[in-house]
Amino acid sequence: MQKRVIILCYRKIIDARSVKQWDKLVFESTYLEFKMQAQNFSHGTAYTSYAELMRNVPNAQRITGMVTPSVTGYVQQLGSIMPDILNNIGRRFLTFSRFQLEIINSDINDKDKHQVAINFYSEPLIWHDTIDNYLLLSVHSPENQSSAENNSISTNLMQLQPYINISSLQYHN
Amino acid sequence: MERKNFLKSLVIGAVSSSVLVEACKKDTDTATTTTTTSGSSSSGSTSGSTDSSSCSVVPTETEGPYPTKSPASYVRSDITDGRTGYKLTVNITIKNSNSSCAALSSALVDIWHCDAEGNYSEYGGSGTQSTNYTTVHFLRGRQTTDSNGLVTFTSIFPGWYTGRATHIHVHVYNSSGTSLKVTQIAFPEGTGTALAAVSGYSKGMSGYTYNASDGVFSDGYTLELATVTGSTTAGFVLAISLSVPA
């Protein structure tokens, strides 16, 4: 039977209204770094917002990559476990190895406008079935092959929810 | 066919930004409630679900580990990251030109320069790729000035690239990250200087742009010119004072 191997992307939004400790630390750290790096581009212009810089200043698209080192330490603290996303018995279960910072909005002079997203990309998962609003998933790795004895593998049920996307799909025989 | 339609509907949902923005507002509003009802401590943890729909289960996990403050990975004194070259210790003293050139403490100082071959580390790039967190930014670093206004970096003597004299970029900020000065450090030239001793590494000095012809330094660079002592065997020490309006 063909296997569907997917990668899930969780887009975690962080802004001034974020309440969790990790989120707040990331908010502070990315804002300081945005402010510092954006001034390399706003220098000599009247632009202060991320949108204005992106529209008007050459190479301003580099800002996101320059701000990324301000979150790497926090991402490492997660220990490769994707935050917030739970299986149906209330445990975090998705692992990730890749992330991508995204600046949604910000302003050198206005911290309240600062809003970023961290996109977490899961390890490859086998999508076995869809039950109601839930995906039945298992890790796609050699260690998680069905054992010859009972022909079973470990799976998780995850509810479809906002900010989760299937970011890639591959068919395996 | 049904599967295709299902996937299609997921994609359509994901690109509808107005829906996302609305959803985000809702989620943030419900986040506090979720945290409260989950019974976890007010400090929060990485295990809470802030933004799933209201009918999703609440987290039921052992609390912690708790996040700790982690500076941007630019913050380090040794910025070598395995780049080969003659050791260079960079001592930069920041002074306040608005305060009788007194030492400026707690200023943030970013420096960056090219490697022996004249290449810079990836810095920003296009920003469109997801990244593995082992990504390095060699020869880039940040330090905070001490009570004497001093920051020290350990690096290698920079190489050079076409069109520019050897230089180190410096960006000085106050403690809250407001830019005070963007400048570059120039190197002394001529017989007996470090620049002559290093002699452009494997590249040599053929085609080198000297300070007098450099697009940045040619309008005068006395205030940007560092003192560089040492040797290729013992390593070099660079010292410069930069006065900035703080």
| Predicted confidence (pLDDT) per residue in A155-167, tens digit | 999 999 999 999 9
* Least trusted range by pLDDT, from A90-99, A100-109, A116-125, B5-14: B5-14
Q: Is A61 within 8 Å of B20 when comparing Cβ atoms?
A: no
ipTM surpasses cut 0.90: no
The per-residue pLDDT for B65 is 72
Query: Hey, are the CB atoms on A98 and B32 less than 8 Å from each other?
Result: no
Chain-centre distance of CA B92, in angstroms? 17
Work out the minimum CA distance from A148 to partner chain B, whole angstroms. 30
Read off the pLDDT of each residue in A91-106 and give the average, rounded to a whole number: 95
Beta-carbon separation of B124 and A22 below 8 A: no
* pLDDT reported for residue B8: 45
For residue B191, the distance in angstroms to the closest alpha carbon of chain A comes to 35
Measured between beta carbons, the chain A residues lying within 8 angstroms of B57 are 86, 88-90, 159
The one-letter code for the residue type at B183 is T
Instruction: Give the residue ranges of chain B where pLDDT is below 50.
Output: 1-52, 124-129, 132-134
Q: CB contact, 8 Å: A32 with chain B?
A: yes
- What gap in Å lies between CA B137 and CA A157, rounded to an integer? 39
* Single pTM value for the model: 0.81
Residue type, position A51, single letter:
A
Residue A81 CB neighbour total at 10 angstroms: 15
Cβ-based contacts of A96 with chain B (< 8 Å): none
CA of B25: which chain A residue's CA is closest?
A: A17
CB B185 within 8 A of CB B224: yes
| Inter-chain CB proximity A36 and B173 less than 8 Å | yes
B117 interfaces chain A, CB cutoff of 8 Å: no
Residue A16 predicted with pLDDT over 70:
yes
CB within 8 Å: B126 and A61:
yes
Instruction: List, as one string, the DSSP characters of A101-124.
Output: EEEEE-BTT-GGG-EEEEEEEEPP
Which of chain B's residues have a Cβ under 8 Å away from the Cβ of A121? Answer: 130
The interface residues of chain A toward chain B in range 33-72, judged by CB-CB distance below 8 A, are 33, 35-36, 39-40, 43, 59, 61-66, 68-70, 72
Omega of the bond leading into B65 within 30 degrees of 0 (cis): yes
